Chain A
Amino acid sequence: MEPHSDTRRTAAFYDVDGTLIRTNVVHAYAYYAINSPAMGDKIGKTAGLLASLPLYWIADKFDRRVFNEAFYKNYAGFSEDRLVLIGEEIFEKVIKPNIFKGAHSLVERSKRQGHDQILVTGALDVITKPLADFLGCKDFVANRLEIKDGKATGRLLKPMIAGANKALWVRRYAEEHGYDLDRSFAYADSGSDIPLLSVVGNPCAINPDFKMRTTARAYDWPVLNLD
């Protein structure tokens, strides 16, 4: 290949839930709730979570941001240091076994091609960081809980990472760090992440839902099924 005249760097941006891992933040939270030290707490949180699952599902389909806002209220009252520990534990026990078999290979090949690996996810930073480290990613952006007096308030810090926001974030990030988006890659599974795939020259739908699949087909984006 002729050396490309553009010397700017290239990146591969990955959504996480359903794209690189089989599980999602609800699953991770359920794990946390079940493993909470106080029994009452556990029952309360688990029951609350289960009772509100249909609501989460509807909210998620409607708007990922609405879902995130509703969901992260469950974290209210958690201490900051505990969140970090639990994040690592969730990664080891829940996330790591659920990484798609092909995800590793995809990330490794992409790295070998000289693209910087960057995770862009609506999950929490405390859960995302161990995953980013494990996959050897250069950077990640994730949602962060607002902390007051060492405790989570249940609200997310703005700007919240979800849907179209991811695309906006990627554009800004590329500008700030000098990435060439035309030669960069992006991977996502959900219809809510179509904007993310739209801002790069090499989009790829992974395990797409109906909305993503139909869009990928319409625009001839590659569709990759990982298991």
Chain B
Amino acid sequence: MSDSSKPYNPVRYLTEDSRPLYLHYGEDFLTHKFPAGTRVVYANKPMKPIDNQGAAIRYALNHPEGDVKPLYAQLKPGMKVTIAIDDISVPLPPMKTPDIRQKVLEIVLQMLADHGVEDVEMVVALALHRRMTGPEIKRMVGPEIFNEYYPERLYNMDAEDEDNMVFLGETDHGEKVQIVRRAAESDLLIYVNVNYVPMNGGFKSIGTGLSGYQSIQYHHNPQTILKSDSYMDPKNSALYSSNERMGRMINEKLNVFHIETALNNKMYDDQLQFLADPEDDWSTADELKFKSMQWTLKQLPRAAKRNFFHKVPADYGLVGVFAGATEAVHEKTLEKCWQQHAVPVEGQSDVVVWGIPFESPYNVNSIMNPLLVRVMALGYFFNMYRGKPIVKKGGTLIITHPCYDQFDPDHHPSYIEFFNRCLPETRCSKTLGKRWEKEFAENPNYIEMFRRGNAYHGVHPFYMWYWAENGQHHVGRVIVVGAENDHVPARMGWLSAKTMDEALEMAAEHHGSDHDLTVMHHPPFVIADVR
């Protein structure tokens, strides 16, 4: 439900008089006047947030979903409790403080203390993501919790620490289930989740979040990705099904209590909220603000722009909090997610345009390298649908990004080798996986950088490549507008256009002049309910 009193239609058709649209272009914006008749899909208006977050959290803990006791009824002195927490990859951008995880943890920790539970540890559920830095964890949980618990009782998990990872067994599909030892040996495992996209949460929280390469390889592979008819639609996602099998097995062996939170899509504070609105609804002041912002960004060096963007937090509000059994909780969370993000769209398009922003789940406080640009386009944005993809089979994607050949050597060291050594030889996921995945996953340099530094696991670039597998197989071509070099698009297998007009002409050459054209106005992100 929109918080506006006027009915708001997020799907618009441009006219001759329509304003130019702005598109994200890395750390900048491009503007382009699209032809009349272009369909533009905007995000829904942000849902009204819950005012009293504390009350909502307490209510959820005391009135759990599914066949489980309220949290307080499960607590007794002397028990061992582990709290797993979603990492920095959600939400994007990071939310204004206090982060919702802090609010949940403050209440949960108080409840544990009130019931005499002293053996409590909190673990950041990284899976194969990079370790969060101390200041990042402090920002997420708040200074009080951080000062009291970090680093002995609040820490990053280490999926490569063999002594502290255990195998719980195998699913009926032969998938090995590996999990953090402390979680497996606890009397109660509480998972504090931030549900930013429907892909996350539910069985995936523990099934992926607390496991390592030995488990994740069963679903993060080209075959499973190809069988996922949108990651955002758990019912049709082979990726989620694998997590579900693992999750069910975990639930049989452990006492698990999920706390899921659903956020609205208010990425921008009131000053910049116009960026989420249709350009044709902007006031003159909004237009001036946008033009001055665009001009200022153009003057700044890229590093300064990147710094600026990473420092602007999102103004997300809480729209739902549910606790209890995995499936029952997740069902409720998904309802809220769909309510906020799903936009009904009539029919697919031959050509779809989206601007690629400065940030993906894997480069918070870092660089959006070429592999992350690709995963954003063909992995995340492509999968933002339910029913059918917004682009027709064999259709054309037009994306805007500078495609700079830049990598963060501390966060993405193995990406550099993957991009420069493996990709020039082949773009085939299966071949890449067969020839090099194991070598990268077991490379001692990358493992130690993952364990002791802030590097993503050595295998991560492969997952990024696989992640785009269903998008890659579906679309006919990708045209990138505004690439500042030739070799990055070429290595990705993309066509390159200097301007949007040129890209639209290239698309028209293929699809004819009467092709359907849709612009998906991400972010805030939209999930197209394509009928």
Is A224 a contact of B416 with CB atoms below 8 Å?
no
Is B410 a contact of A102 with CB atoms below 8 Å?
no
Is A2 a contact of B434 with CB atoms below 8 Å?
yes
Is B452 a contact of A225 with CB atoms below 8 Å?
yes
Is B443 a contact of A102 with CB atoms below 8 Å?
no
Which of B435, B439, B449, B451 contacts A222 (CB under 8 A)? Answer: B449
Interface presence of B257 (CB below 8 A): no
Interface presence of A7 (CB below 8 A): no
Q: Mark the stretch among A25-33, A104-112, A145-153 that contacts chain B.
A: A104-112
Q: Count residues of A near B (Cβ-Cβ below 8 Å).
A: 22
Cα distance, A1 to B437, chains bound together (Å): 7
Interface presence of B313 (CB below 8 A): no
Contacts of A23 in B (CB 8 A): none
How close is B214's CB to chain A, nearest CB, in angstroms? 14
Which of A1, A185, A220 contacts B416 (CB under 8 A)? Answer: A220
With A1-B435, A1-B436, A217-B409 known as contacts, the answer to whether A113 contacts B442 (CB < 8 A) is yes
Residue picked from B435, B437, B448, most chain A C-beta under 10 Å = B448
Residue picked from B413, B420, B435, B444, most chain A C-beta under 10 Å = B444
Interface presence of B476 (CB below 8 A): no
Sample of 13 further A-B pairs with CB below 8 A, known A1-B438, A109-B444 = A1-B434, A1-B439, A12-B444, A112-B442, A185-B444, A204-B445, A217-B409, A220-B413, A220-B416, A220-B420, A222-B409, A224-B448, A224-B449
Interface presence of B453 (CB below 8 A): yes
The 3 closest A-B pairs by CB, nearest first: A109-B444, A1-B438, A204-B445
* Nearest residue, chain A, Cβ from B444: A109
Contacts of B439 in A (CB 8 A): 1
Which of B416, B436, B444 contacts A110 (CB under 8 A)? Answer: B444
Is A185 a contact of B445 with CB atoms below 8 Å?
yes
Interface presence of A223 (CB below 8 A): yes
Contacts of B443 in A (CB 8 A): 113, 202
Interface residues on B, range: 20 to 34
The B contact surface, by secondary structure, is helix
With A1-B434, A2-B435, A224-B453 known as contacts, the answer to whether A106 contacts B409 (CB < 8 A) is no
Is A105 a contact of B438 with CB atoms below 8 Å?
no
Is A224 a contact of B452 with CB atoms below 8 Å?
yes
In B407-464, the 8 Å CB interface with A consists of 407, 409-410, 413, 416-417, 420, 434-439, 442-449, 451-453
How close is A5's CB to chain B, nearest CB, in angstroms? 12
Contacts of A216 in B (CB 8 A): 409
How close is A126's CB to chain B, nearest CB, in angstroms? 28
* Nearest residue, chain B, Cβ from A109: B444
Is B452 a contact of A226 with CB atoms below 8 Å?
yes
Is A225 a contact of B447 with CB atoms below 8 Å?
no
Is A109 a contact of B447 with CB atoms below 8 Å?
yes
With A220-B409, A222-B413, A223-B409 known as contacts, the answer to whether A106 contacts B438 (CB < 8 A) is no
In A83-109, the 8 Å CB interface with B consists of 102, 105-106, 109
Cα distance, A201 to B439, chains bound together (Å): 13
Is A106 a contact of B448 with CB atoms below 8 Å?
yes
Is B410 a contact of A106 with CB atoms below 8 Å?
no
Which of A2, A105, A217 contacts B451 (CB under 8 A)? Answer: A105
Contacts of B420 in A (CB 8 A): 220
How close is B408's CB to chain A, nearest CB, in angstroms? 11
Contacts of A217 in B (CB 8 A): 409
How close is A98's CB to chain B, nearest CB, in angstroms? 17
* Nearest residue, chain A, Cβ from B420: A220
Contacts of A223 in B (CB 8 A): 409-410, 413, 449, 453
Contacts of B436 in A (CB 8 A): 1
Is A109 a contact of B434 with CB atoms below 8 Å?
no
Cα distance, A226 to B435, chains bound together (Å): 30
Contacts of B410 in A (CB 8 A): 223
Contacts of B453 in A (CB 8 A): 223-225
Cα distance, A106 to B451, chains bound together (Å): 10
How close is A77's CB to chain B, nearest CB, in angstroms? 42
Cα distance, A225 to B437, chains bound together (Å): 24
Is A113 a contact of B444 with CB atoms below 8 Å?
yes
* Nearest residue, chain B, Cβ from A12: B444
Cα distance, A106 to B420, chains bound together (Å): 24
With A1-B435, A223-B409, A223-B410 known as contacts, the answer to whether A106 contacts B449 (CB < 8 A) is no
16 of the cross-chain contacts (CB-CB < 8 Å) are: A1-B439, A102-B448, A102-B451, A105-B448, A105-B451, A106-B444, A109-B444, A113-B442, A113-B443, A185-B445, A202-B443, A222-B446, A223-B409, A224-B448, A224-B453, A226-B448
* Nearest residue, chain A, Cβ from B458: A222
* Nearest residue, chain A, Cβ from B454: A225
* Nearest residue, chain A, Cβ from B441: A1
Contacts of A1 in B (CB 8 A): 434-439
How close is B458's CB to chain A, nearest CB, in angstroms? 10
Residue picked from A202, A217, A223, most chain B C-beta under 10 Å = A223
What string of 1s and 0s marks CB contacts (under 8 Å) between B186-224 and chain A?
Answer: 000000000000000000000000000000000000000
Is B445 a contact of A202 with CB atoms below 8 Å?
yes
Contacts of B417 in A (CB 8 A): 220
Contacts of A202 in B (CB 8 A): 443, 445
Is B409 a contact of A224 with CB atoms below 8 Å?
no
Cα distance, A109 to B442, chains bound together (Å): 8
Contacts of B444 in A (CB 8 A): 12, 106, 109-110, 113, 185
Cα distance, A106 to B439, chains bound together (Å): 15
Contacts of A113 in B (CB 8 A): 442-444
Contacts of A106 in B (CB 8 A): 444, 448
How close is B431's CB to chain A, nearest CB, in angstroms? 9
